[in-house]
Amino acid sequence: MSENVKHTAGQYLTFTLAGEVFALDITAVKEVLELTAITRIPRMPDYLRGVINLRGQGVPVIDLRRKFGLECAKDSVNTCIIIVEVDGPEGRFNMGALADSVREVLEIGADEIMPAPKMDSAVKMDCIEGIGQQGDSFTIILKAERIFSGEELEQVQVPTPSVAEKIVIEPAVRVRQVQP
């Protein structure tokens, strides 16, 4: 077992995409949200569904099915947004990942994690940390920081200004009441 695989032992949030079970290290997951209104941004990649307002912060949301080249599906009552903290070109920021459903948090031991097999897959191989095996079940463990390339992170990063940097915008048009 390699050092890298030993490092992956721990707790993982499991979720489904197209009937397959995936997992993210729980330390990268900030919260899980019910599906909410997503504002589409023009001229962005297909996999970028848009942004959501999370307590006053714009958070980009990506559709992992599209990102990984899986069959698209309609959102359901189980569809949710996993908020993950990732490193971007300008520091750490939150990103939402659309999942078909969230399952559970699993404790996966080092002896239950195999290296990712070298094979052609819709999921980029460098995004896969390993394959967790518990009994007859397999879980594809993803590396949150590898789901996007640096260029993609620049496209989707929504900076969160500090309080000192926030700009107060005055209305440009004043509404005048018209008397009948």
What are the φ/ψ torsions at residue 147 (nearest 5 degrees)? -65, -30
**pLDDT 10s digits, 63-90:** 999 988 888 889 999 999 999 998 877 7
What is the CA 76 to chain-centroid distance, rounded?
Answer: 18
Measured between alpha carbons, how far is residue 177 from residues 88, 172, 173, 174, 180 in Å? 47, 16, 13, 10, 10
Q: Would you identify the CATH topology of the domain 3-165?
A: OB fold (Dihydrolipoamide Acetyltransferase, E2P) (2.40.50)
The residue with tokens 């080092």 is 110
What value, to the nearest 5°, has the Cα angle with vertex 64 and ends 85 and 73? 140
- Position 147 scores a pLDDT of 78
Total-model pTM: 0.77
